[in-house]
Chain A
Amino acid sequence: MAATYNQLPSVISERPGFARRAARAIAHDWLALFGLVIIAVVVVAALIGPLLAPSPGDGAGVINVDERMLPPSLAYPFGTDWLGRDMLTRVILGARIALQVSLIVVGLAILIGVPLGAIAGYRRGWLDGLIMRITDLFLAFPPLLLAMAIVAALGPGLQNATLALVVSWWPWYARLARGLAVSLREWPFVDASRAMGIRESSIILRHIVPNSLGPIVVQATIDIGTVILAAGGLAFIGLGARPPAPDWGLMVAEGRQYILEQWWLSTFPGLAIFFTVLAFNLVGDLLLRLLDPRQED
C-alpha cells in the first residue's frame, strides 16, 4: 500500500490563485500532464466505453470462433482471445469495472473512516482510545491478507471483493483523519475559537474540515490507483470478478497459460492496469506538491 500522507496541511484558503498555480505546475511537469491525459482516457472509456468499443458484444460472452487467437493487427489492435473476442473492446470495457470498484472502495472508506477518525482526534479521551484500538486491529493485518480472508469466508465475486477491500481500507482514513484532527485542534485559531465560546460543530465545519481536505484528497487520488492494483490482484488469483467479465486482473490470469505464444492476451490488460495506476500516482504526486509548500523543489 502506498505510504500515507500525514504531514501538516497548509490552509487552502490562504493560498490565492490555486487554479493558476495548478495550471503553472502542470505546464512545468510533463509527467503530471501525461497522468491527467491518461486519467481522462480511462474515465471516458469507463463512461461511454460500450459506445466507443469496436465490438461491444464481446464483453458479454459473444463467441467468434473464426477469429480466435489473432495477434494484434489493424483490424484487432489488441488481438483476439481464445474465444475470438476483440481484446481492445474488452480492455476498454474493463475500465468501467476498475473505476467503479476503486471509486466505491475509496468513497466508502472515506465516508466510514474520516468521521470516525476526526471525532477520535478532536474529542480525544476514551473515544479516541477505543477507535484507535479498533483501527490498530484492522491495520495489524498485512495489506490484502484481511481482504483475502474475508473473500475466502464470503465466497469469490466482485461484490464480496469490493466489500472486503472497503473493510481493509477504512482504517487508513480513520488514522489519517485522526492525525489531522489532533494537529489541527492545536492550531491557534482553533484554540482562539474555542476560547471565544464558538460551538464545536461550527469549529469542525468551518476550520477543521476545509483544512483536512487537502491531505485526504491526495491520499484518495493515490488510493484509487492502489485499489485498482489490489482488486486486480484479487481477480488474478480468482477472488474477484468472475468470468466472463472483462476485468483487467481476471484477463491477465486467463491469458497466463498462453503467455509464451499469445503474449497479447495478458499484456494489454496488464498494461491497462499499469498505466491507470501510474496516472493516478502521478496526479496524486502533483496534488501533493500543490498542497504542501514544503514539498516544492
Chain B
Amino acid sequence: MIRFLLRRLTSSLFVLAGVSVITFWLARLIPSDVAAIYIGPRARPEQIERVREQLGLNEGLITQYLVYMRDMLAGDWGSSIATKRPVLDEILLRLPATLELIVAAMLIALPVGLVLGMLSARWQGRPIDMGVRIVSIVGVSLPAFFLGLLLQILFFRSLDVLPLSGRVDSDLRFVSPIDTVTGVYIVDAAVTGNWSALRDVAWHLILPAITLAAYPIGLISRMTRSAMLESLGKDYIRMARAYGLRERYIVSRLALRNAMVPVLTVIGLTLAYLLTGTFFVEIVFNWPGLGTFAVRSILATDYPAIMGIALFGAAAYVVINLVVDLAQAWVDPRIRLT
C-alpha cells in the first residue's frame, strides 16, 4: 500500500509540474502587454519599460518559467490587477465560502446518489428503477445556472420560504455577528453557539447547495446503479446466496464494495465538476466565494488572478484524484498492484 501511495504521489507531482507549464504558457498567450495593463493606461513608454524589467518580461522563456515556479512555490502568485493584493491571499480569503458550498452539496449528493442507485439496482425493472433513471437523467441535463434561477423563483418569489441570495442576512452583522474561527460560517456559528446565526446561514445554504448537488446526484446514482447491477450478476454473489446470507447484507456490503471502485471514479469526476460548477451557482446566488471572484477576474481580464485560480483549481483536482486513487486501492486490494 505504501509503495502504491509513493507511486501515485510521484505521478501527481509530475502532473502538477505539467499543469504549471500550461498555466505559465497560457499567461504568455495573452496578446496585450501585461506590463502596460499593470501600470495603468496613462503610463509613459519609459515607465512601461521599467515595469517590464521589474516583472522580468525581457528574460528568456525558460528563465521566466523558473522564476515563475520559484515564486509559486514560495507562495508568491503575483498580485491581482483589480484589487492590487496578492492573488494567493485573495484565493484563500474566499476559499471557506466555496468550501462550505461544495461540502454541503456533496453531503447531499453522495448519500442521495448512492441510495438511489442501490435501490434502482435492487429493484431493477420495477417503477422505482424508472423513477430513479428519470431523476438521474434530469439531474445531468439541467444547467446549474438555470436550476438556480428556477429555485429562486419557486422558493423565494412564489413560496417565500427561502432567502434569495447571499450567505447571511446583512442585518445579522449587527444583531448577532459570527466570530470567525474557520471562515466557514456554518461551522463557526455552530462552534460558537450562535444559534440564530446558524439558522440563518443554513437557510441561505439550502438552495445553492441543492442546485450544485443536482448534477452529482445524476452522475452518482447512474454509476452506482450500473456498477451494482454488474456486481450483483457475479458468481460470488450467487455463492453468497448459496450460503444463506441475508439479501440486505449481500446488496449493501458484499455487492456494494465491489461497485465502489467505479463509483469512486465518478465521485472524483463529481468533485471536479463541483470545482467549476460552483462558479455558476455562486454567481446566481451572489455567494461571495472563489467562483464569484473567478468570474469577475475573467471578465476584468485580471490575468494574474485568472492564472492563480486555474493553477489552484488544477492542484485541487490533482489532490482529489490522488485521494480517489487511494480510496480505490483501499477498497479493492487488486488495485494496489497497479
The binding surface of chain A is classed by DSSP as helix
- A144-B276, A148-B298 as given contacts; A229 in contact with B310, CB under 8 Å: no
Docked pose: A256 CA to B295 CA in angstroms: 16
B202 interfacial by beta-carbon distance below 8 Å: no
The residue in chain A whose Cβ has the minimal distance to the Cβ of B318 is A140
**Min CB distance, B316 to chain A, in Å?**
8
Q: Which residues of A contact B283 (CB under 8 A)?
A: 236-237
Q: Which residues of A contact B313 (CB under 8 A)?
A: 141-142, 145
The residue in chain A whose Cβ has the minimal distance to the Cβ of B125 is A297
- A141-B310, A270-B150 as given contacts; A236 in contact with B23, CB under 8 Å: no
Which residues of A142-161 are within 8 A (CB) of B? 142-146, 148-155
A270 near B143 (CB under 8 angstroms)? yes
Q: Which residues of B contact A200 (CB under 8 A)?
A: none
A149 near B280 (CB under 8 angstroms)? no
A3 near B153 (CB under 8 angstroms)? no
B203 interfacial by beta-carbon distance below 8 Å: no
Docked pose: A133 CA to B279 CA in angstroms: 28
A232 interfacial by beta-carbon distance below 8 Å: yes
**Min CB distance, A286 to chain B, in Å?**
11
* Interface size of A in residues (CB-CB distance below 8 Å): 52
A2 near B146 (CB under 8 angstroms)? no
Docked pose: A215 CA to B133 CA in angstroms: 21
Complex interface bits, B262-273 against A, C-beta within 8 A gives 1, otherwise 0: 000010010011
Q: Which residues of A contact B303 (CB under 8 A)?
A: 152-153
Task: Choose, from B38-46, B219-227, B247-255, the stretch at the interface.
Answer: B219-227
B145 near A252 (CB under 8 angstroms)? yes
B66 interfacial by beta-carbon distance below 8 Å: no
Docked pose: A282 CA to B156 CA in angstroms: 32
Q: Which of A140, A152, A252 has the most CB of B within 10 A?
A: A152
Q: Which residues of A contact B245 (CB under 8 A)?
A: none
The binding surface of chain B is classed by DSSP as helix
Q: Which residues of A contact B222 (CB under 8 A)?
A: 3
- A140-B19, A237-B298 as given contacts; A145 in contact with B124, CB under 8 Å: no
Docked pose: A214 CA to B219 CA in angstroms: 21
Contact partner, B306, options A152, A236, A278, Cβ 8 Å: A152
A140 near B15 (CB under 8 angstroms)? yes
**Min CB distance, A163 to chain B, in Å?**
12
B192 interfacial by beta-carbon distance below 8 Å: no
Which residues of B273-304 are within 8 A (CB) of A? 273, 275-276, 279-280, 283-284, 294-295, 297-299, 301, 303
Q: Which residues of B contact A143 (CB under 8 A)?
A: 272-273, 276
Hey, which bits of chain B sit against chain A, CB under 8 A?
15, 18-19, 22-23, 26-27, 29-31, 124-125, 133-134, 137-138, 140-146, 149-150, 152-153, 156-157, 219, 222-223, 226, 230, 266, 269, 272-273, 275-276, 279-280, 283-284, 294-295, 297-299, 301, 303, 306-307, 309-310, 313-314, 316-318
14 cross-chain CB contacts under 8 A: A137-B18, A141-B314, A142-B276, A146-B310, A149-B306, A152-B301, A155-B31, A237-B295, A249-B145, A253-B145, A260-B157, A270-B143, A274-B143, A277-B143
